[in-house]
Structure 1
Amino acid sequence: MKLFGYLPETLFKPLSGPKKHVYARLLMRLYERVYSARILETPLREEVVKQIEIGLSEFGIGSMGDLSEGDPDEDQTTSQAHYLAYYRLRDTGWLTEETEKWRTYVDMNPDAFMVLGAITDFGNSRVRVAGAVVDVKNNLEAANREPETMAQGLANAHDTALRFARSMRRILAGMREIEDRILGNPNAAAILRTFFQDFVDGLLIADYKQLKTSNNPYRHRRTIASLAGDMLADAGLVGKISRAYIEQGVMAPGATVATAEERVIAELEKIKSVFEDVGPFMDKIEDFRDRLERRIRTTVHYMDVMGEGSAERIVRLIEQLSKIGTDEVEIRLRSPDVGLPITSLALYTPPPPKAPPERTRFKVPKQDPYLRAYVQATTEFDRMVRVSDQKLLEFARRHMQGRDAVSSSEIEIESIPDLFAYRAIPNLAAVGRSVRLGEFTITIEEGRTANDWIDVTAFRIDRTRTTADAA
């Protein structure tokens, strides 16, 4: 079974054996130095084999025995490790050969290429929050300003908002994992090392401090949510973007305007919800940072008094130094090599108080110009199709003019109201097979009556004769 219907099973064979780490690093090397570096150029087989040879030498693999896994399906015609790796990647589907004249070109499986690109993106844990906000704002404003030509901006803004939301969720999940790791470690040096390496260097937002300044693009998040709401309320704008989606190929071939409108509405609602929820989400990150840095500050404060005191350590150090007769003495420090200075300047500084939000005038959403016409049309339609006794009596009188009896097969339907009245007449006499309707009697007959409009139970309308009529 293919993974998600895209990748064949053979691709995972090199990544599931004893040398899986070697093949994983080889694939990433080929992706970064060969295929992603030259998108429009297909390399020759000699270039690919040369890159594999260089990669294996960097990994410390120089012979066939270092790479062989004892698989009976391995190519036994070569005695060189780099050719063995190349044949294995080719036979499992990672690489595909194409011969043109006397040269052999090697390309990478397109689906596998996209997967490696996604894995490469995972290595960048930092997120530029302000950059994502700017992208969404610019694209959304472009789509609002020129819906016929810049409708693609809405789709781009939606994709950026989704990536932004996923990245923020990933940061919060990673913070919780680091917190569990730090709180469960009794070693103070390991706590500091984990804090600086995993949290500060690996997971902290790249422009987090800039988000606290007044002149930062992050302040536009409320503008984005408001603009998305205004675009949702503008039915004409939604219609223009929907038609542009179809014309510009954003929608799949054969899509209708109604389907495009559903997508446009869903994208606008998603953008609005993401940037309305990002404020509380950032508060959660801020609370976590505050809590974690307080723990690190407490650890640094009490690190000097954990175990023996500083005086005892200095005395023991002097005693050991007196026993050494050399001029050069190696001194090992208890503080970890964190790569950053540990001073009072590196400790947590409480954030300044937040300024009150600016006063903004509430904007009443624009009334849909087509809403009143739509309500009026639906009301007229309901009035037209609603059946009442008076409508049925008028229908019978119109078809009984100058006649004492008429059957259902003789009645002609000329309009939608006639259709609903014609369909409702046999239902009146469905219980007793006969019923009075004003000066007429409706009687159910055997069989059915079919015409170009409908197929119903056969019936007959008779004029009811009273005593005055008989006289």
Structure 2
Amino acid sequence: MPLFDVLPPDLFKPLASSSRRLYADLLLHLHHRTFTLSGAVPRRADVIAEIDAFLARRAPEDARLEDEGPNTKAEERARTAYERLVETGWLVEYRERYLKLVDLDPEASGLLHLLADIERGDTLSYGGAVLGVLSALESAASDPAERSENLRNALRGANEFMTHMRTVSVSLRQAEERILRQPSLREVFRHFFESFVERHLIRDFKTLHTRDNPFRFRGGIIRQASVMGESAELVAALGAAYAREGRALDAASGEARVREELGIVSAVFEAAEEHLAGIDATVARIERRIANTARYMDRIQHRSEVGLVDAMKAVAAAKSDEIPVSAALLPRILPLGPVHIPAPRREKPAITRTVLTDRAPDPAALRYARAKEEYVRRTRVTPERLTTYLEGALAERGEMRGRDMPIGSVDDFVAFQRLREIPSIFNGALAKRYEIVLLTERCANDWISCQDFLIRRREPADTGEASQNAA
């Protein structure tokens, strides 16, 4: 594994010793206080003094090192911890003139940075992660020559998002196993609220079921990645940028890398629905288990079997052969008797035959269905319907104001009220043929009062220029 080829061989020895908690806290303390906040490289004496101050703040039983003697002084304890970190490769010493300076090993520093993230327990914002991937894809598509790195950022964000989703799913399954292993009702409910409610339901799981669900951007990411992969010019520009910036050997391998990364991004968000379904199934099982426990709690606490088991344990733990038993404690009835025998199952009645007849559909229902289809047809706006209305209104003219456009029926009114959305509807299909300019005046007719506008046909040259700019 390349990780162990670059890390010092004895790096994990302090974290595997009996003083591992102390060394872990000390490394994180030095990472935050000594090396991260300081712009200059600290001296050896300053690092030892910081270790001494750290050990002094710890409780005596928590500040003992594995090799520490019974009467070790505080200064010697700090020096021992420092030499241990230098010996195992966490710290590196070097001289600058007459000063001895200390810094973190570069490979160990990256590992310590990850450990610091784990210690903080940072949670991932689903909305920020998903929206960040979409923004990165859109940025790479808008300027492939200068912002091709955003495609790599989108891939990294998608992988981190899926890793966190898988982490939530596995953590929920572990919480379910811990809850099922508890021997008492008290422990069952304690683990339910600590392992499930506080850790996942309130923080991670609830994020996936809010009104502003981050998965509303999922379709946009898949569409954006698909559009980018289908555009040969965009893929070529991104591949050339990959080759120019050193992320690929040449333009051809860069294009292959671009298509591969776009495919991974699409696959990640297409599979996110399955992970969410698995999380929902685990949550349903946990909640069903707790509901059943609460429902039968009284029966579980007062079962006669529990008393028999406790009595058997007491008898087995007795040291003498004879056990004195008070007569008042002897049961007066048998633990099992006729009242406990279940009643025999009743015979099921025979299934009677029924005659199925075909009924003619209700004419009123048929008329309602046809009226509903006609309503949908008349209220649905399509590119062909808008084009027919515009061509009929413009006739031989090249442009026309909204106040002058004729509205003779409900169909004309439905088409008229959507004219101002031409630049954005139908993926800009009508914007290639018609141009609309919103005016400050208002227009009013027998049907509607709205902002006036001017609509004109585009010339063939304008249409070609617009399609070139869109490409």
Q: TM-score range by the shorter chain?
A: 0.5 to 0.7
Task: Point out where structure 2 has 5 or more consecutive residues left out of the alignment.
Answer: 304-380, 383-424, 428-471
What SS does structure 1 have at the residue aligned with 2:6?
coil
From 170, 174, 179, the counterpart of 1:173: 170
Alignment of 1:1-16 (within 5 A): 3-16=3-16
Amino acid at match of 1:20: R
Paired with 2:160 and 2:48, the residues of 1 have a C-alpha distance of 36
- Aligned in 2, Cα 1:205/1:224: closer, same or farther, shift over 3 Å? farther
Q: Give the CA RMSD over aligned residues.
A: 3.2
Paired with 1:180 and 1:150, the residues of 2 have a C-alpha distance of 46
Tell me how far 1:272 sits from its aligned partner: 0.3
- Aligned in 2, Cα 1:120/1:70: closer, same or farther, shift over 3 Å? closer
Q: Does the CA-based 8 Å contact 2:222-2:266 persist in structure 1?
A: yes
Tell me how far 1:201 sits from its aligned partner: 2.7
Q: Deviations over 1:437-468 (max 9, x none)?
A: xxxxxxxxxxxxxxxxxxxxxxxxxxxxxxxx
Q: Does the CA-based 8 Å contact 2:200-2:206 persist in structure 1?
A: no
Q: Does the CA-based 8 Å contact 1:136-1:158 persist in structure 2?
A: yes
Which residue of structure 2 lines up, in the alignment, with residue 232 of structure 1?
229
From 252, 255, 259, the counterpart of 1:261: 255
Confirm or deny that 1:109 pairs with 2:105. yes
Confirm or deny that 1:48 pairs with 2:42. no
Q: Does the CA-based 8 Å contact 1:10-1:93 persist in structure 2?
A: yes
Q: Deviations over 1:323-349 (max 9, x none)?
A: xxxxxxxxxxxxxxxxxxxxxxxxxxx
Paired with 1:93 and 1:174, the residues of 2 have a C-alpha distance of 33
Larger Rg: 1
What SS does structure 2 have at the residue aligned with 1:14?
helix
Q: Deviations over 1:107-131 (max 9, x none)?
A: 1011111111122323426332222
Which residue of structure 1 lines up, in the alignment, with residue 358 of structure 2?
none
Q: Does the CA-based 8 Å contact 2:52-2:75 persist in structure 1?
A: no
Tell me how far 1:289 sits from its aligned partner: 1.4
Q: Does the CA-based 8 Å contact 1:7-1:111 persist in structure 2?
A: yes
Paired with 1:70 and 1:217, the residues of 2 have a C-alpha distance of 53
Q: Does the CA-based 8 Å contact 2:133-2:157 persist in structure 1?
A: yes
Paired with 2:2 and 2:252, the residues of 1 have a C-alpha distance of 34
Paired with 1:132 and 1:28, the residues of 2 have a C-alpha distance of 27
Amino acid at match of 1:43: P
Paired with 1:147 and 1:242, the residues of 2 have a C-alpha distance of 9
Paired with 2:250 and 2:187, the residues of 1 have a C-alpha distance of 60
Paired with 1:2 and 1:11, the residues of 2 have a C-alpha distance of 15
Which residue of structure 2 lines up, in the alignment, with residue 464 of structure 1?
none
Amino acid at match of 1:55: F
Q: Deviations over 1:109-168 (max 9, x none)?
A: 111111111223234263322221011011011111111121111100000101111111
Paired with 2:240 and 2:197, the residues of 1 have a C-alpha distance of 47
What SS does structure 2 have at the residue aligned with 1:98?
strand
- Aligned in 2, Cα 1:62/1:141: closer, same or farther, shift over 3 Å? same
Paired with 1:20 and 1:212, the residues of 2 have a C-alpha distance of 40
Tell me how far 1:190 sits from its aligned partner: 1.4
Which residue of structure 2 lines up, in the alignment, with residue 354 of structure 1?
none
Q: Deviations over 1:407-443 (max 9, x none)?
A: xxxxxxxxxxxxxxxxxxxxxxxxxxxxxxxxxxxxx
Amino acid at match of 2:55: L
Q: Does the CA-based 8 Å contact 1:90-1:96 persist in structure 2?
A: yes
Which residue of structure 2 lines up, in the alignment, with residue 120 of structure 1?
116
Which residue of structure 2 lines up, in the alignment, with residue 82 of structure 1?
78
Amino acid at match of 1:227: Q
What SS does structure 1 have at the residue aligned with 2:301?
coil
What SS does structure 2 have at the residue aligned with 1:10?
coil
Q: Does the CA-based 8 Å contact 2:168-2:204 persist in structure 1?
A: no
Amino acid at match of 1:261: E
Confirm or deny that 1:164 pairs with 2:161. yes
- Aligned in 2, Cα 1:140/1:69: closer, same or farther, shift over 3 Å? same
Tell me how far 1:306 sits from its aligned partner: 4.1
- Aligned in 2, Cα 1:236/1:3: closer, same or farther, shift over 3 Å? closer
From 278, 284, 301, the counterpart of 2:272: 278
- Aligned in 2, Cα 1:135/1:2: closer, same or farther, shift over 3 Å? closer
Which residue of structure 1 lines up, in the alignment, with residue 399 of structure 2?
none
Paired with 2:37 and 2:202, the residues of 1 have a C-alpha distance of 28
Which residue of structure 2 lines up, in the alignment, with residue 92 of structure 1?
88
Paired with 2:24 and 2:193, the residues of 1 have a C-alpha distance of 28
Amino acid at match of 2:32: E
- Aligned in 2, Cα 1:8/1:210: closer, same or farther, shift over 3 Å? closer
Paired with 1:299 and 1:151, the residues of 2 have a C-alpha distance of 55
Tell me how far 1:246 sits from its aligned partner: 2.7
- Aligned in 2, Cα 1:63/1:151: closer, same or farther, shift over 3 Å? closer
TM-score by length of 1: 0.58
Which residue of structure 2 lines up, in the alignment, with residue 288 of structure 1?
282
What SS does structure 1 have at the residue aligned with 2:267?
helix
Q: Deviations over 1:182-216 (max 9, x none)?
A: 11212222122212222233344736434334444
Q: Deviations over 1:9-65 (max 9, x none)?
A: 122232333323322221122123222344x4322323322332233234334899x
Amino acid at match of 2:260: A
Bigger share in helix:
2
Amino acid at match of 1:98: Y
Paired with 2:256 and 2:2, the residues of 1 have a C-alpha distance of 31
Paired with 2:302 and 2:52, the residues of 1 have a C-alpha distance of 54
Paired with 2:54 and 2:46, the residues of 1 have a C-alpha distance of 12
Q: Does the CA-based 8 Å contact 2:127-2:214 persist in structure 1?
A: yes
Paired with 2:190 and 2:56, the residues of 1 have a C-alpha distance of 32
Q: Does the CA-based 8 Å contact 1:2-1:8 persist in structure 2?
A: no
Q: Does the CA-based 8 Å contact 2:148-2:242 persist in structure 1?
A: yes
What SS does structure 1 have at the residue aligned with 2:93?
strand
Paired with 1:281 and 1:70, the residues of 2 have a C-alpha distance of 50
Paired with 2:155 and 2:147, the residues of 1 have a C-alpha distance of 14
Paired with 1:56 and 1:195, the residues of 2 have a C-alpha distance of 37
Identical positions, percent: 34
- Aligned in 2, Cα 1:47/1:305: closer, same or farther, shift over 3 Å? farther
Which residue of structure 2 lines up, in the alignment, with residue 24 of structure 1?
24
- Aligned in 2, Cα 1:196/1:41: closer, same or farther, shift over 3 Å? farther
Tell me how far 1:68 sits from its aligned partner: 4.6
Q: Does the CA-based 8 Å contact 1:238-1:261 persist in structure 2?
A: yes
Paired with 2:58 and 2:68, the residues of 1 have a C-alpha distance of 20
Amino acid at match of 1:171: V
Tell me how far 1:265 sits from its aligned partner: 0.9
